[in-house]
């Protein structure tokens, strides 16, 4: 993907196993709910927005959801954190300057959405601007197995757009993360597949001014496929709970990698449909650590992260500082078959990923959250 940086923030929960007996316009909701309905989440439908000159406008939309994920018909209120970009009661944003940023928030019945960072800036001469409707599917890496590098390229399928010239700078103005320089073009069947080289934020937006502290407590989270298949995930404000689904709730016996006599072993262990990286240290013979998880673990997290992002080209300054923490706990029911000495340490890498809304669509930042016991 375009300029995706992954900040490693590992949150490992450690605990002791006690081996004892064990409205307004712009809302997109529907469903006939009243204005007094209990709102669990509010979501702005757009994940990125770029305006290119003073006076430019764009319409946003938001949806309120109940705890079961059903859309609600409730009034939506809109607000903006900076005067550089305003928003009216219908969700229409307007740029009041040529260069600046603001965080747009939608709110329903006291529940606020994650902020949407909207930027306005003048672009390099000759830049080709795109919209989401002109991009087929999602951008994809040319080589998905390539190690992270600024030299990697990615591909975008375009429709309704003439084939761009080699060397052209393509920038999307909406949600899909596309910003790059054309290095290859292939036209077939009315669609154009463009290979893009990544460009720096400074090259794409040489005049962009940003000075924002962004609250990530309600930021979008990405759930890996194996986790979403095995766990029911609920969000209540900045609290995220992962409860195992009934189909994944079978007991699991922790197994070491091989027979061992006071020797450590490592083994992937599938617990509740998700794979954990486990390390065992046991004494005596046998391949099994005599511990059984009666049910897969339940995870509960509280997200108190913010990011301080400053971009001032005139001063040559660009800074992104992640602050705060993600705290959590793991609940698990265990039983020991016999007395033993040993230890099992297990970790789930990337139980979920927090998407940081920066100067999208040119750059995205991902914060993976790991959990273990």
In the chain, the domains with their CATH numbers are 4-22+218-372 (no CATH), 23-123 (2.60.40.10), 124-199 (no CATH)
Whole-number Å distance between alpha carbons of 178 and 15: 43
Dihedral of alpha carbons 146, 152, 158, 164, sign? negative
Q: What is the pLDDT along the chain (373 residues), one digit of tens a residue?
A: 334 443 333 333 332 233 222 233 454 444 444 556 788 889 999 988 999 999 999 999 999 998 888 999 999 999 999 999 999 999 999 999 999 999 999 999 988 898 998 999 999 999 999 999 999 998 898 998 888 778 889 999 999 999 999 999 999 999 888 999 999 999 988 899 999 998 887 888 888 888 888 888 888 888 888 898 889 988 877 899 998 887 666 666 665 444 444 444 566 777 777 888 877 776 554 455 667 777 778 899 999 999 888 888 776 777 888 888 888 888 877 776 666 677 778 888 888 888 876 644 445 677 888 888 8
pLDDT of residue 255: 58
Residues 6+ apart with CB under 8 A from 348: 227, 274, 275, 276, 277, 370, 371, 372
pLDDT of residue 133: 94
pTM: predicted TM-score of the whole model, two decimal places: 0.72
pLDDT of residue 301: 92
Count Cβ neighbours within 10 Å for each residue of 106-145 and write b for 16 or more, e otherwise: bbbbebbbbbbbbbbbebeeeebebeeebbeeebeeeeee
Yes or no: say if 117 and 87 are a contact pair by the CB < 8 Å rule.
Answer: no
Whole-number Å distance between alpha carbons of 128 and 195: 15
């Amino acid at each position: 993907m375009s300029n995706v940086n992954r900040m490693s923030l590992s949150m490992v929960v450690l605990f002791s196993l006690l081996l004892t007996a064990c409205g307004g316009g712009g809302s997109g909701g529907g469903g006939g709910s009243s204005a007094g309905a209990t709102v669990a989440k509010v979501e702005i439908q757009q994940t990125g927005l770029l305006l290119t000159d003073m006076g430019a406008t764009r319409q946003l939309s938001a949806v309120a959801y109940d705890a079961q994920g059903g859309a609600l018909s409730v009034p939506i209120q809109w607000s903006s954190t900076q005067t550089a970009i305003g928003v009216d009661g219908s969700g229409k944003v307007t740029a009041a300057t040529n260069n600046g940023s603001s965080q747009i928030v939608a709110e329903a019945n006291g529940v606020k959405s994650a902020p949407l960072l909207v930027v306005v800036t003048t672009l390099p001469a000759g830049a080709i601007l795109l919209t989401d409707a002109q991009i087929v599917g999602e951008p994809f890496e040319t080589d998905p197995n390539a190690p992270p590098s600024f030299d990697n390229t990615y591909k975008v399928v375009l429709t309704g757009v003439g084939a761009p010239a080699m060397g052209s700078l393509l920038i999307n103005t909406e949600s899909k993360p596309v910003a790059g320089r054309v290095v290859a073009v292939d036209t077939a069947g009315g669609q154009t597949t463009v290979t893009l080289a990544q460009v720096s934020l400074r090259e794409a937006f040489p005049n962009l001014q940003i000075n924002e502290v962004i609250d990530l407590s309600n930021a979008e989270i990405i759930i890996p496929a194996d986790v979403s298949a095995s766990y029911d995930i609920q969000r209540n404000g900045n609290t995220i709970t992962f409860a195992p689904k009934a189909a994944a709730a079978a007991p699991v016996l922790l197994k070491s990698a091989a027979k061992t006599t006071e020797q450590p072993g490592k083994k992937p262990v599938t617990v509740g449909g998700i794979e954990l990286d486990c390390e065992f240290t046991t004494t005596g013979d046998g391949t099994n650590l005599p511990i059984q998880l009666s049910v897969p673990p339940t995870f509960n997290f509280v997200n108190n992260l913010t990011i301080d992002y400053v971009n001032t080209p005139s001063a040559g300054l660009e800074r992104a500082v992640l602050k705060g923490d993600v705290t959590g706990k793991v609940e698990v029911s265990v039983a020991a078959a016999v007395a033993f000495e040993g230890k099992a340490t297990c970790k789930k890498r990337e139980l979920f990923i927090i998407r940081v809304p920066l100067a999208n669509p040119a750059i995205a930042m991902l914060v993976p959250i790991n959990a273990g016991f």
